Structure 1
Amino acid sequence: MLLTMNPLIQKYNVPGPRYTSYPTVPFWDETTFSETAWVHNLQRAFLASNATTGISLYMHLPYCESLCTFCGCNKRVTRNHSVESPYISALLAEWNLYCDLLPERPRIAELHLGGGTPSFFAPDQLKRLLTGIFERATPTESPDYGWEGHPNNTTQQHLQVLYDFGFRRVSFGVQDYDPEVQRAIHRHQPFEQVKQVTEWARQVGYTSISHDLVFGLPFQTTKSIADTIYQTITLQPDRISFYSYAHVPWIKGNGQRGFRDADLPSGEQKRTLYETGRDLLEHAGYTEIGMDHFALPHDSLYSAMQEGTLHRNFMGYTTTQTRVLLGLGASSISDVWSAFAQNEKDIDAYLDKVMSGQLPLLRGHILDDQDQFLRRQILNIMCQGETQWHLGSWSKHEWEDLSARLESFWLDGLLEYNAEGLRVHPKGRPFLRNICMAFDERLNYSQSKASTMKTKLFSQTV
């Protein structure tokens, strides 16, 4: 397998987006965005969908007690827990600003707490947060609520408090069990602690427990990945996220230091790490879902893939698709299909705006018709590995350009396509991001203007 893959990896291992949205954030057109336009699109999408599907809500909790040097998330490292209460107050203030704009009581179908480290916050603070959220909202009949816990500071009380609010999913960040890798990424994560919190979650009643693993980290080997997978399998998490490490040290504040580029596996080695883990997981009964996710047959993520309802948004792969995704907290991104909006990334700027009664918007993008059409194609490819369109959806010039970009993938046996659609072959699954790039008009336009490509934007696709 590796011998036949090497030339393709060398060919397609280029910087590219992860496509949790389209257009991707670096190519948003802020000239057409305003708070007025954002609110208009939000209210229109809300009215069209709240009564039927409800809304999704993401809350970013950005604090961490220590710096993990593989992490590219927006966070602030501190051991000062006095920051908890003001930040929870700001989240509730932002929520109330939105509720005041909505014409009826929101129904929450999907809710996710991410970070940072949500378990940095005391259980009582999380209880205060969720009590305030549900004072102005109602759960849908079958909600999907999940949160991210750090195995080293998640307590039984954390698990119980969130379970009492309807949370049935929890993901624990494991990354890797190898001591050398853990030292390099500054993440001491004992297996015994992961085992303990996993057992606690099952005892409380969580029905979907996920472990997050990362491949491509410094000093990883096929043996260390295999050892991590073997240990993970003994705990039988319902889902596993097996993420590709995104090396983006040029992004301000991401903390990716403490090791050299030479300590990282090459693109070919990185793909071997993934295939080693994938083969072991599939042998243990897990099924590969989309890109970098795995699930056991009883899990809802597996069911969504089988039923063709798998969805992808800023939270990654989900089983719930709503027209409105509101993101609360510093750096959070909201999505109402026809518009995106991102909050202030700096925590202090976020707090200042919210507590002065303003929506804490930093930037956004209003999608035109072409954006929405291309977004649908990219979403289909990322979730289903195929997409269709109506004959005549492309102008002659657009079809010639797209065909030219797809031709290389077809010649390499990665996909098949015609004038009405495209299907990715199993051989092409490692290159989903590259295939989506063929549809990314904003990226391709930018690449045609060499002067705009001097700044690095994305991690490698392999």
Structure 2
Amino acid sequence: MNALAFAPSGFLQPLPLVDQEVLGQLNVNGPRYTSYPTADRFVEAFGPEQYRLALTQRAEGAGAVGGGIAPLSIYVHIPFCESVCYYCACNKVVTRHHEKALDYLDALRLEIELHVAQLGRGQAVSQLHLGGGTPTFLSDEQIEQLLGWLREAFRFVPGGEYGIEVDPRTVDEARIARLASMGFNRLSLGIQDFDPEVQQAVHRVQSFESVARLMQAARASGFESINMDLIYGLPKQTPQGFDRTLVQVSALKPDRVALYAYAHLPQRFKPQRRIDAKLLPAGADKVAMLSRAIRQFRAAGYDYIGMDHFALPTDPLAVARRQGRLHRNFQGYSTHPDSDLIGLGVSAIGRVGAHYSQNAKTLEEYYDALGSGEFPVVRGLTLSRDDLVRRAVIMAIMCQGRVDIESIELAYLIDFRQYFCREIEQLGPLVEKGLVEMEPDGVRVTPMGWYFVRAIAMVFDRHLQADQAMERFSRII
């Protein structure tokens, strides 16, 4: 059976299923590359002082004549959930005590004001995303209060992307309309799978009919873009059963679909210990699910954006893909490659200039820092010149499926073939397997290579090649 893949050249081409030998060789552990270097490379030597300096540099750039600095993106992490989903690897606090949100909102207000003190009031924002956890754990009044603080601190530009993640079990049609009235224009629904047995196995039960009603309400309320999250590789999933979910999702026609491979890392994420590993699908079945998803969504009119995203051709993500403006950040694929990202809330990750930062992962540590009038940043990284060069190459692979050698050489003043002579040699086996093509002016990922695009990017990861400590990452399929 053939599947279909979106080739970097823009043509729809047949893509055969991967045979067991190739799967065994390349279905290794590896990063998702929402950043380079990856977050596991952050160091505790980067703290509040370094973060404050990064903000100061941005503020000075924004104030310079003709600075032309891009608007900000803002991510706000709401960690609370009423119940635990067994597959979840997010930073969360499982509780039914909604009063716990009061202290958290107070802390967010303090963190927002610290940024205002450093950046000045009124910096432009073109993207906002509330994630979690479950952002709709907050009441409508609390969400409005949070938005009010953000609007007082920043200037939200017209036509921006303002989104919120929604657990369908926590909202009804009226609440969807209320979120739209607050100014949200993008909605992300966590679905994972519509199969009742799979839902039971991961402790997240929600019917197709209830989600369909929410979709209808979101359309009627004026949401410009609706995303659905799916996961393949969950317990009790089969390619045939997942086919039914794919058909149901296609019928609802969300603007975007994020399709993630389940990463079973019970040693790191306690809820996953409730999953019986014997119920997880085999690697070959996971590849089949990905292949059939590509075929189903392409047949339904979606563009295959890359590793884990599909979008309708009119969606800004698909437009950015065609125009070569696609980017990856800590939330996945993005249309704003030049935006600094401010992360607010416990464990939130940000990027300002050539600096990455992450907040404290526990509420206690997060509250203590803000109570002392300090940024709650506990680790991060200032990128070296080599990091910047490799980030450009890895992002080109992950987003465009092609590295243009001349562009890299002009931007970073290097001889590409000399700088990456070892990496080009290491690409040899991937070229032989038909996953990569070495062209006179670049490196191109083949249609088959999209299955293993993370493995291709890993070749250029200096940190990963140096220590080979792969066990902390998920499988790439």
Q: Deviations over 1:420-461 (max 9, x none)?
A: 5311111100111101100000111112xxxxx3x8310011
Q: Secondary structure at the match of 2:149?
A: helix
Q: Deviations over 1:104-158 (max 9, x none)?
A: 5211111000000111111100000000110121112321111100111123454
Map of 2:433 onto structure 1: 412
2: CA distance, partners of 1:296 / 1:15: 30
> Relative to structure 1, is the Cα distance of residues 84 and 5 closer, same or farther in structure 2, using a 3 angstrom cutoff?
same
Cα pair 1:380 1:386 within 8 Å, conserved? yes
Tell me the CA shift for residue 47 of structure 1. Answer: 4.1
Q: Secondary structure at the match of 1:209?
A: strand
Alignment of 1:59-138 (within 5 A): 59-103=76-120, 105-138=122-155
Alignment of 1:53-452 (within 5 A): 53-103=70-120, 105-253=122-270, 255-388=271-404, 389-390=408-409, 393=414, 398-417=419-438, 421-447=442-468
Q: Deviations over 1:30-56 (max 9, x none)?
A: 44x243222222322344358542101
Q: Which amino acid aligns with 1:42?
A: L
Q: Does 1:44 align with 2:63?
A: no
> Relative to structure 1, is the Cα distance of residues 272 and 35 closer, same or farther in structure 2, using a 3 angstrom cutoff?
same
Tell me the CA shift for residue 272 of structure 1. Answer: 0.3
Q: 2:24 aligns with which of 10, 27, 31?
A: 10
Which structure 2 segments of 5+ residues have no match? 3-15
Map of 2:36 onto structure 1: 22
> Relative to structure 1, is the Cα distance of residues 94 and 161 closer, same or farther in structure 2, using a 3 angstrom cutoff?
farther
TM-score, normalised with respect to structure 2:
0.91
Cα pair 1:29 1:366 within 8 Å, conserved? no
Q: Which amino acid aligns with 2:133?
A: G
> Relative to structure 1, is the Cα distance of residues 52 and 166 closer, same or farther in structure 2, using a 3 angstrom cutoff?
farther
Q: Deviations over 1:5-30 (max 9, x none)?
A: 33221111111000000111112344
Q: Which amino acid aligns with 1:9?
A: L
Cα pair 2:17 2:291 within 8 Å, conserved? no
2: CA distance, partners of 1:239 / 1:227: 18
Q: Secondary structure at the match of 1:171?
A: strand
1: CA distance, partners of 2:70 / 2:17: 47
Q: Deviations over 1:225-253 (max 9, x none)?
A: 11111111221111111111111211144
2: CA distance, partners of 1:47 / 1:204: 40
1: CA distance, partners of 2:58 / 2:242: 44
Residue identity over aligned pairs, in percent, reads: 38
Q: Which amino acid aligns with 2:255?
A: D
Q: Secondary structure at the match of 2:126?
A: strand
CA RMSD, 1 decimal: 2.0
Number of residues paired by the alignment?
A: 454
> Relative to structure 1, is the Cα distance of residues 46 and 18 closer, same or farther in structure 2, using a 3 angstrom cutoff?
farther
2: CA distance, partners of 1:79 / 1:394: 58
TM-score, normalised with respect to structure 1:
0.93
Map of 2:12 onto structure 1: none
